Amino acid sequence: MNGVASADMRKAGIGYKLNFGVGLPALREIAQEIEKSQELAAALWKEDIRECRILAALIYPQDQFMPDMADLWIEQIEYPDLAEVCSMYLFSRMQGASESAFRWIASDNAMARYCGFLTLAHMLRSGREMGQRYVQELRDQAAAAISGTDIMCAQAAKAALDRLEAENG
């Protein structure tokens, strides 16, 4: 447990039922020692404990994680740190990731939009391409998000747009 980190997160408004303040590098090491398991990941996710939910995203077998499960998880994500981990390590690698991400960025749910832009940014960073129709849609949605009032979504949209421009010029 990192009590200082946990206390700092609570002060910043990150109020999980329980938060040990363990950093992502340490959690990634723990996840490497655990066999990937849909059942264990689902059980860990059910806990409103920061580290359990992060581990769930890290150990869920990516080929078994489906868009309907991602939709359910997004409804339960309250804090950006978890959205970032899920988007990087799970959502961007699941089957149907781009379709889901585009559905999320068009959503009224701010956390879904945030996850959608982050997912697209990670997909682009890993070299996954998208069709021209999607390129234009990302540009349009990102422009709207960047000019909006939701700073988290604006930052994630800018990251996705920057990655898109780096890839497509």
Encode pLDDT of 93-123 as tens digits.
999 999 999 999 999 999 999 999 999 999 9
Q: Would residue 36 count as lying in a domain?
A: yes
Domain extent, residue 35, equals: 1-61
Q: Are residues 167 and 101 in the same domain?
A: yes
pLDDT above 60 (res 1): no
Q: Are residues 38 and 96 in the same domain?
A: no
Q: Provide the 10 A C-beta neighbour count for residue 123.
A: 21
Q: Are residues 47 and 115 in the same domain?
A: no
Query: What's the distance, CA 67 to chain centroid?
Result: 13
Task: State pTM to two decimals.
Answer: 0.88
> What is d(CA 62, CA 104) in angstroms, rounded to the nearest whole number?
19
Q: Are residues 54 and 84 in the same domain?
A: no
Q: Are residues 57 and 85 in the same domain?
A: no
Q: Are residues 56 and 106 in the same domain?
A: no
Q: Are residues 128 and 57 in the same domain?
A: no
